């Protein structure tokens, strides 16, 4: 049921420019970078990139701003984020338009991404009065131990195309209330939404009287990102992207004793047990696997279904997949927008080829639609593939809407299959049996950073810590106590007596 008409590139350009105008941003036009839209696959406009020298200047400006920002009281830092949150509310539609134009998200998901930014602003404002340290009992008479959390420095945020704004906001709002300043290197594929977000922080900074250098934007390819990775003035590099990217960034930052917070690939699975509510599971699986055209790091990529329910579940999923409206993401009713590029579609096809060579059976999807209407864009039918076993292609993250279905007999077997992949981001179990649910959440259950019951793998709220284990990189962002990664901890031992007592009963002179 694809919508056979797509908006013209001209109308999309107009729409993006109108949003930018309302947000109050002027685009640095140039010929180094191109803003494009996956809706038609065509170019919107040319942009000036940041040079390596300019990236160094941005870090210098952020480092200078840090010197005053770090002693600004945290609730006053929160006022900046509160103001940003108000601007995001006011421009929710404009920002959502830019996300749809540049990342191809359907309207509801684009608005949801901006909502996620608003939510983290609220969280960070509250956090600005809750940067708690502990007091600790001392073993010595007349002594007290305490820990104090201090701002860390400049945070380099490297973000990906698929959540071009929300992931930036998790990092930036928390970093700002923690007293850090930020230099942001967004994906080359989403410069316009980045300019809009940066413009709003600048406006908020002006309104509350924060130093302009608290936030800087650098646009360009990986060399600009490398400038942040290798700059010892950047205390923390928070990078979201592929495991391959993280494998490069992690050691480079570590080599200069910087900190890295890595959010890398996922290969998320759901286990569907015999007692599962199959209506609920089907709905959840379709959203998690086909939503966002399979381009979330939390996208469901593996379905591990009990042998007794697999056929029934596959029947329901196949029927639901056949009815998915694919097409113009601005069109009311569309559920699956374009892939980010035709290259992403090639990757999808290659993965399906390997899966079939491994004995997989393509049950539905995998085709390309709207190729005549938009030869430079890639609209893919989400694919469902039944696999005889967890072959190497299933263990890889393919950033496209492919759901592999595997079957199991015992829960131990399901958990073993579940954990037998390099990545460890998100997971879930569908069951009405409390023992099974608890077993999945236990120490020897799911090995992921996110483990859910009776919901899918994607669409986490901001209140929890977000991130994963193993090849996902180990970082945690967003809610809970993820803020600690953006601060440094000092342990204080305070002697309020009049004698010097040494710990561990050591005697020296006295």
Q: Shortest gap between Cβ of 290 and ligand UN1 (angstroms)?
A: 13
Q: Shortest gap between Cβ of 112 and ligand UN1 (angstroms)?
A: 8
According to the binding rule CB under 6 A, does residue 458 interact with ligand UN1?
yes
Q: What are the helix (H) ranges across 91-165?
A: 92-103, 107-127
Closest Cα partner for 224 from 260, 188, 197?
A: 188
Binding piece for ligand UN1, criterion CB under 6 A, among 316-324, 342-350, 416-424, 458-466: 458-466
Q: Shortest gap between Cβ of 163 and ligand UN1 (angstroms)?
A: 4
Burial zone of 433 (CB within 10 Å; 0-12 exposed, 13-18 middle, 19+ buried): middle
Q: Which is nearer to ligand UN1, 35 or 450 (CB)?
A: 450
The torsion angle over the Cα atoms of residues 81, 86, 89 and 91, rounded to 10 degrees, is: -100
Site for ligand UN1 in 289-308 (CB under 6 A): 296-298
Catalytic residue chosen out of the listed positions 263, 397, 436, 477: 263
Strands in 135-136's sheet, in edge-to-edge order, are 135-136, 143-151, 487-495
Q: Which is nearer to ligand UN1, 37 or 292 (CB)?
A: 292
According to the binding rule CB under 6 A, does residue 427 interact with ligand UN1?
no
Residue 259, both tokens:
């900190």
Dihedral sign of CA atoms 55, 95, 179, 246 in order: negative
Q: Which is nearer to ligand UN1, 40 or 169 (CB)?
A: 169
Q: Which is nearer to ligand UN1, 88 or 460 (CB)?
A: 460
User: What is the C-alpha to C-alpha distance for residues 338 and 340, in angstroms, rounded to an integer?
Assistant: 6
* Residue 326: DSSP 8-state: B
Q: Which is nearer to ligand UN1, 69 or 163 (CB)?
A: 163
Site for ligand UN1 in 339-368 (CB under 6 A): none
Dihedral sign of CA atoms 55, 56, 61, 66 in order: positive
Out of 131, 245, 317, 460, the residue judged to bind ligand UN1 by CB under 6 A: 460
Burial string for 92-109 (b: 16+ CB within 10 Å, else e) reads bebbbbbbbbbbbbbbeb
Q: Shortest gap between Cβ of 109 and ligand UN1 (angstroms)?
A: 10
Catalytic residue chosen out of the listed positions 297, 381, 397, 477: 297
Dihedral sign of CA atoms 339, 340, 341, 347 in order: negative
Total binding residues toward ligand UN1, as defined by CB under 6 A: 11
Q: Shortest gap between Cβ of 213 and ligand UN1 (angstroms)?
A: 27
- Within 13 Å of residue 210, how many CA atoms lie on the same side as its CB? 35
What is the contact mask toward ligand UN1 in residues 230 to 259, using x (rule: CB under 6 A)?
A: ----------x-------------------
If one counts every other C-beta atom within 10 angstroms of the C-beta of residue 378, the result is 26
Q: Which is nearer to ligand UN1, 46 or 112 (CB)?
A: 112
Q: Shortest gap between Cβ of 494 and ligand UN1 (angstroms)?
A: 42
According to the binding rule CB under 6 A, does residue 162 interact with ligand UN1?
yes
263 is catalytic: yes
According to the binding rule CB under 6 A, does residue 163 interact with ligand UN1?
yes
Is there a contact between 195 and 216 (Cβ–Cβ < 8 Å)?
no
User: What is the C-alpha to C-alpha distance for residues 205 and 203, in angstroms, rounded to an integer?
Assistant: 5
According to the binding rule CB under 6 A, does residue 167 interact with ligand UN1?
yes
* Residue numbers annotated as active site: 263, 297
Q: Which residues bind ligand UN1 (CB under 6 A)?
A: 116, 162-163, 167, 240, 296-298, 458-460
């Amino acid at each position: 049921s694809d919508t056979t008409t797509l908006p013209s590139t001209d109308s999309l350009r107009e729409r993006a420019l109108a949003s930018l105008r309302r947000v109050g941003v002027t685009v640095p036009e140039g010929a180094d970078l191109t803003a494009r839209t996956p809706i038609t696959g065509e170019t919107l406009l040319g942009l000036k990139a940041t040079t390596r020298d300019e990236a160094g200047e941005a870090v210098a400006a952020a480092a200078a701003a840090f010197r005053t920002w770090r002693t600004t009281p945290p609730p006053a830092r929160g006022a900046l984020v509160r103001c940003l949150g108000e601007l995001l509310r006011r421009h929710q539609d404009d920002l959502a338009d830019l996300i749809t134009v540049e990342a191809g998200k359907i309207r509801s998901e684009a608005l949801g991404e901006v909502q996620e930014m608003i939510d983290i602003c609220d969280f960070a404002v509250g956090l600005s009065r809750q940067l708690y340290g502990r007091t600790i009992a001392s073993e010595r008479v007349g002594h007290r131990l305490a820990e104090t959390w201090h701002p860390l420095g400049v945070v380099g945020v490297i973000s990906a195309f698929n959540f071009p704004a929300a992931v930036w906001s998790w990092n930036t709002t928390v970093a700002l209330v923690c007293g850090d300043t930020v230099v942001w290197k967004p994906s080359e594929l989403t410069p316009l939404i980045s300019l809009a977000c940066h413009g709003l922080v600048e406006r908020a900074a002006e309104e509350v009287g924060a130093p302009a250098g608290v936030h800087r934007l650098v646009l360009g390819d990986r060399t600009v990102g490398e400038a942040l990775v290798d700059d010892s003035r950047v205390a923390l590099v928070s990078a979201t992207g592929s495991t391959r990217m993280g494998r490069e960034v992690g050691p480079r930052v570590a080599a200069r004793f910087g900190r890295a917070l890595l959010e890398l690939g996922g290969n998320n699975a759901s286990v569907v047990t015999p007692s599962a509510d199959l209506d609920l599971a089907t709905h959840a699986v379709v959203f998690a696997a086909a939503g966002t055209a399979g381009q979330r790091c939390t996208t469901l990529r593996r379905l591990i279904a009990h042998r007794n329910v697999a056929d029934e579940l596959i029947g329901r999923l196949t029927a639901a997949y056949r009815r998915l409206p694919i097409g113009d993401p601005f069109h009311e009713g569309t559920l699956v927008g374009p892939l980010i590029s035709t290259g992403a579609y090639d990757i999808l096809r290659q993965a399906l080829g390997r899966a079939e060579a491994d004995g997989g059976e393509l049950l539905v999807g995998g085709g390309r639609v709207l190729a005549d209407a938009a030869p430079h864009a890639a609209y893919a039918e989400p694919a469902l593939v039944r696999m005889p076993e967890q072959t190497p292609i299933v263990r890889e993250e393919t950033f496209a809407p492919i759901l592999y279905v595997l079957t199991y007999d015992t829960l131990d077997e399901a958990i073993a299959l579940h954990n037998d992949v390099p990545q460890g981001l998100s997971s879930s179990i569908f069951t009405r049996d409390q023992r099974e649910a608890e077993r999945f959440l236990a120490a020897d259950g799911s090995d992921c950073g996110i483990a859910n019951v009776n919901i899918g793998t994607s669409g986490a709220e901001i209140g929890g810590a977000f991130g994963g284990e193993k090849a996902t990189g180990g970082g945690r962002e967003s809610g809970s106590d993820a803020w600690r990664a953006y601060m440094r901890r000092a342990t204080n031992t305070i002697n309020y007596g009049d004698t010097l007592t040494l710990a561990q009963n050591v005697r020296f002179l006295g």
